[in-house]
Amino acid sequence: MFQTEPILFLQSFSNDFTDFFFIAITRLGDPETAFFVLGAVLFGTDLRKGFVLVHMVTWAAVATIWAKDFFALPRPFHIDAGVRAIGKDLAPTPFKGAGAEAFWQLPDKTAIEFARWYFGSRFGFPSGHTSGAVSLYGGLAMLFPRKPVILACGLVMLLVPFSRLYLGRHFIADVLGGYLLGAACVFVIYAVMVKLPAMHQVLVPAGKRPWLKPGKFFLPAYLFGLPLLAILVAPGRAAYPALLLGLNLGFYIVLARGLPDDGGPVLRRIMRVCISALVFLMARYVFDQAVRLLPRPHPPAATLLMLAAGMAAFFVAAVEINIRLGLMKRIPGTESTA
């Protein structure tokens, strides 16, 4: 699974068109694409299901980062000069054909150690694009189980991992690991946030709800305790848990004040997404300016706190501005009775 021969075979068909096509396909698994899709679902489709989808994608990203650090395995172009990192202008590795010799073996030990020393933390296993694509598009297919959505998402979940092989970014093992990790996050988060009675209020669109019952403390423990635990476990890799913590706080505030109706015609939905994107850009600008005011080197705790606070402020502001503009309306009877 860590052999370079399958990648070299795929790259033997390389030409300008296939290179351009698979570079474009791999962009569907980029974090920037995920941010766009998540924003469109949150504010243009279904706020509650979008919130669940954010959790699927974010926890998949966190798990992938932790797994990469734990296994610390190289990428194909790190250990075989014959493999091209298509779309990247990188210095070639001094190794040639140092991939695994058998299906169940690891690459050459010397090449692994060299890659860990020379290339730092840019590890390959598991594939982040694959786990991200599976969590994002697999989550979409699970939360919106309509035939066109399932077919489109299924196609993307096949093409993005294949593009990672063709572009020389990952081994077969990396892609398979990404599939397993992404799918596990989708099913676990779906079971926790959709199936557990204590989490039903996240998805209930209207009507009176028993606030945090029967699992009175489960929702806040999940929303706040779990991201905080992730931050404490790996403070150096805590950007995603901090962002999720901020989003959870923003959602909790919106939930306490009353959930908004996110229906309406297509034009209204597009306007909501555009306004939310503008609010996000403003929040990002304020965050960047605030970071510049921090002493150098930046205190990690201060940066994480600002990330969480900025995400919470963005989410609450985006919802409230859309409500004030009449693009959303608060549903009577959905506010907290706590």
Q: What is the pLDDT of residues 243-261, one digit of tens each?
A: 999 999 999 888 888 778 8
pTM, full prediction: 0.90
The mean pLDDT value for 155-159 works out to: 97
Contact (Cβ atoms closer than 8 angstroms) between residue 183 and residue 190: no
Which domains, ranges and CATH numbers included, belong to the chain? 1-195 (1.20.144), 204-338 (no CATH)
Listed residue (33, 77, 103, 97) closest to 169, CA to CA: 77
Residue-level pLDDT at 204: 54
Average pLDDT value for the chain: 87
* Cα 332 to Cα 233: distance, rounded to the nearest angstrom: 40
Residue-level pLDDT at 211: 43
Listed residue (10, 173, 158) closest to 84, CA to CA: 10
* Cα 218 to Cα 221: distance, rounded to the nearest angstrom: 5
Q: How confident is the model at residue 311 (pLDDT cuts 50, 70, 90)?
A: very high
The mean pLDDT value for 214-224 works out to: 74
* Cα 78 to Cα 104: distance, rounded to the nearest angstrom: 19
Q: What is the pLDDT of residues 57-95, one digit of tens each?
A: 999 999 999 999 999 999 998 888 888 989 887 777 888
Q: How confident is the model at residue 332 (pLDDT cuts 50, 70, 90)?
A: low
